[in-house]
Amino acid sequence: MPAPSRSKSFGNVHRMDIPGREHSSSYMEGQSSSIKPQLSNLRSLSRGRFLTRAGREQFNESRRNSNSASAKPCASHESIDLLSSARTTNPLIQRRQTLAAFPKKIELATEDDATSVLKINALNIGDNVNSSPHIVGGYQYKSSARSYKSRNSLDNADVAKLKPRKKLTLDPTQECTPNKGHSDRIRVYVRIRPISKKEKEVGARCCVKAANGKEIYLTEMALESDYLRLKRLKGRYFIFDGAFPENTNQEEVYRTSTEQLVEAVLEGKNSSVFCYGATGAGKTFTMLGTMKDPGVMVLALKDLFAKLKQRSSEGEHSVRLSYLEVYNETVRDLLSPGRALVLREDLKQGIVAAGLTQYKACSADEVMALLQQGNQNRTTEPTRLNETSSRSHAILQIFVEYSARVGVSLVSRTGKLSLIDLAGSERAIATDQRTLRSLEGANINRSLLALSSCISALVEGKKHIPFRNSKLTQLLKDSLGGSCQTAMIANISPSNMSFGETQNTLYWADRAKEIRTKGCVTNEEIQVPESGCEQLQLLLEVQKENHQLRMQVAQLQQKLIAFESHSLVSKQDGFADVKMTSPTSTLKPALNANQKENIEESDIKHQVRCDDLLFKIPNGFSSAKATNLMIRSPLTPSQDPYLCFHSTSRDHCRKRTFWDITNANSPYDKSACRNIKSNTATTGSPSMLMQPGFLGRRRLKL
């Protein structure tokens, strides 16, 4: 069909509702071939609406033809919808339906694109826009403009005011969903602590609410007197990866925010969890907890050791641990306190505190003891707001190393878990002015300010991130901008007296949500022996290991035989008429109840005990007697190969030779040969010197 003269490109079909707006062809990005028939239908429709009378007739004619022609591509359900709805006069509804037929990932190049899509989706999801400004119609609206996101209500007029600064992406995979384990975005959780007794006494009321597991509402308006922050902090609604109300227990906080990161560390990745918030908001409670109510640090360590135990068969694991604090811009070792430490940048490990001790820990209890020791060394002082206020930022680092031999190569992995309890931001009035406390407060605020600058720079995608502005940000460089999975737990107080601090914390938490870390990589090394020398060394190691294992097997077998000999001797003495059967079946009846119990307890234990018994053979019972006993055994070697092995008779303990197998005239029948082989194993290999028969026989002859 010839294209009508006023026909427009597909992009213009979308644009015609808002004349004069520039749209980019990236709207079409991701368009799959499957939606092409729908698009052509749409194009035809738009043509139909703008044609002259004659043209419209021609158009209708061609449409009839196209409907009747079975060979032409049939319209899908979605395109049928589009056809029926195309008659509507509401352009936004038309556009909404058009978008519904699109693949979900759409690149928007301009502010107008974003505004239009948001408007369309606003119509689509109605009130959902109000309740979830970040997730619009199933997409997360990801941009650098944030303040409008936090509004309690978002109408079309508000949407129209949106001024995104950069190219926007609507990416359905970036929804704020906890436990999804995305590795490239900082996960942010908010925890509200219960209102304290002190706050209740002074008549404080609750000013914040958590809802639906993810949402936080401020139930008060911003303070009109706070001119500096008023503009920035007018948001009253926030959505995070998780929102914990006052009654959430420690276990739940750990499971939601940190458990998956512990798992990642075991896979050789780096993970960090940090608590952020104003003084007295509950950071230390969340991170460390109490003896009765252990926090994230303790639960993570316990979980880590439990998981290591489960994986013990997979390879060798070792755990090292260091604990440091940043106090008044100096770095101190909490496990072996001494002089201040210097931070150095290491190519492989990133920023490290030179001289920081790393303790090797073998069990959760050992780690707990170290943690307790470190906490005793941590600087805490009472302030007006918190009786046990942490005056320093504390960082616990746990390194988990794994190594295993896979074939000839050695695989090793190292994962690092950093658990960080930040000191609380505070106003000078909250602490004691003009004292050491206020100096500490100033330093704490300085480092937290540096942290906020880094967050801002990271969110805005700046090239230079001012990590060097404070010791804290230097140490957090990995967690914020490196190859690391990071979770932030923002702690807030519900009291209206801390409303400003709560708003501030929520503002920074909301920003931190947009930080993208580098994709988390596994720190794995595979050593494959390359040179002949390395291969030879490896071969020697394997041979050595093999030899040791053979020795162990031989010793255990020897003990077993010694025990069995003794049981036969006892039978000779006490139970002469007990019929001898194969060694394994004679073991149990010959033992008394006590011995039997020991055998069931542990093989090794029972073998050692039996060895003892061997040397308790009654006086006068010579080894010759034992030998005779074996010779007098009613069984032939073929019936009881074990006895054959032990007998001193040449006939019975004759070595099995090549001839025995091949020669049809062999005195042994084939089945007997097979039995003998499995028990005597006298094939002449050098390792057979270690075999039990050899040693056992010698012992009895002595």
Ligand X SMILES: Nc1ncnc2c1ncn2[C@@H]1O[C@H](COP(=O)(O)OP(=O)(O)OP(=O)(O)O)[C@@H](O)[C@H]1O
Please pick, from the candidates 386, 485, 503, 627, the single residue that binds ligand X as defined by CB under 6 A.
386
Please pick, from the candidates 272, 491, 502, 675, the single residue that binds ligand X as defined by CB under 6 A.
491
CA distances from 543 to 500, 536, 688 (A): 69, 10, 16
Minimal distance, residue 166 CB to ligand X, in Å: 35
Q: Is 442 annotated as a binding residue?
A: no
Please pick, from the candidates 11, 194, 466, 529, the single residue that binds ligand X as defined by CB under 6 A.
194
Q: Is 282 annotated as a binding residue?
A: yes
Minimal distance, residue 290 CB to ligand X, in Å: 7
Dmax (CA) for the chain in angstroms is 129
Q: Is 355 annotated as a binding residue?
A: no
Q: Assign 3-class secondary structure to 286-309.
A: HHCECCCCECHHHHHHHHHHHHHH
Minimal distance, residue 210 CB to ligand X, in Å: 12
Question: Is the distance from CB of 176 to CB of 134 less than 8 angstroms?
Answer: yes
Q: Is 662 annotated as a binding residue?
A: no
Minimal distance, residue 277 CB to ligand X, in Å: 5
Neighbours of 545 (CB within 10 A): 11
Which of 266, 274, 372 shows the shortest CA–CA distance to 323?
A: 372
Determine, following the binding rule CB under 6 A, whether residue 327 of this chain makes contact with ligand X: no
Q: Report the C-alpha gap between 277 and 268 in whole angstroms.
A: 30
Q: Report the C-alpha gap between 547 and 184 in whole angstroms.
A: 49
Question: Is the distance from CB of 672 to CB of 635 less than 8 angstroms?
Answer: no
Judged by CB under 6 A, the stretch of 104-112, 164-172, 193-201, 462-470 that binds ligand X is 193-201
Determine, following the binding rule CB under 6 A, whether residue 680 of this chain makes contact with ligand X: no
Q: Which residue is nearest to ligand X (CB)?
A: 424
Minimal distance, residue 197 CB to ligand X, in Å: 10
Residues in 222-281 at the binding interface with ligand X, rule: CB under 6 A = 277, 279-281
What is residue 667's DSSP assignment?
S
Minimal distance, residue 85 CB to ligand X, in Å: 51
Q: At 549, which helix (H) or strand (E)?
A: helix 532-574
Q: Report the C-alpha gap between 323 and 667 in whole angstroms.
A: 75
Instruction: Please calculate the CA angle 40-44-50 and round it to the nearest 5 degrees.
Output: 145
Minimal distance, residue 263 CB to ligand X, in Å: 25
Determine, following the binding rule CB under 6 A, whether residue 423 of this chain makes contact with ligand X: yes
- Cβ closest to ligand X, residue 485 vs residue 491: 491
> Would you state the torsion angle of the CA atoms of residues 240, 246, 250, 253, taken in this order, to the nearest 10 degrees?
-10
Residues in 550-609 at the binding interface with ligand X, rule: CB under 6 A = none
Helices of type H across 268-356 = 283-287, 296-310
Question: Is the distance from CB of 209 to CB of 219 less than 8 angstroms?
Answer: yes
Judged by CB under 6 A, the stretch of 103-111, 189-197, 578-586, 589-597 that binds ligand X is 189-197
Please pick, from the candidates 193, 511, 513, 559, the single residue that binds ligand X as defined by CB under 6 A.
193
Minimal distance, residue 287 CB to ligand X, in Å: 8
β 187-192/242-244 pair status: parallel
Which of 92, 89, 94, 80 shows the shortest CA–CA distance to 37?
A: 80
- Cβ closest to ligand X, residue 44 vs residue 279: 279
- Cβ closest to ligand X, residue 282 vs residue 481: 282
Residues in 276-295 at the binding interface with ligand X, rule: CB under 6 A = 277, 279-285
- Cβ closest to ligand X, residue 383 vs residue 418: 383
CA distances from 446 to 106, 423, 443, 500 (A): 41, 11, 5, 18
Question: Count of residues for the chain?
Answer: 702
Minimal distance, residue 465 CB to ligand X, in Å: 25
Binding mask 343-382 for ligand X (x = CB under 6 A): ----------------------------------------
Here the tokens at position 21 are: 């707006």
- Cβ closest to ligand X, residue 133 vs residue 494: 494
Q: Report the C-alpha gap between 49 and 116 in whole angstroms.
A: 22
Q: Report the C-alpha gap between 207 and 202 in whole angstroms.
A: 15
Q: Is 277 annotated as a binding residue?
A: yes
Determine, following the binding rule CB under 6 A, whether residue 507 of this chain makes contact with ligand X: no
Binding mask 387-416 for ligand X (x = CB under 6 A): -xxx--------------------------
Q: Is 278 annotated as a binding residue?
A: yes
- Binding site for ATP: residue ranges? 277-284
Residues that bind ligand X (CB under 6 A): 193-194, 196, 277, 279-285, 386, 388-390, 423-424, 491
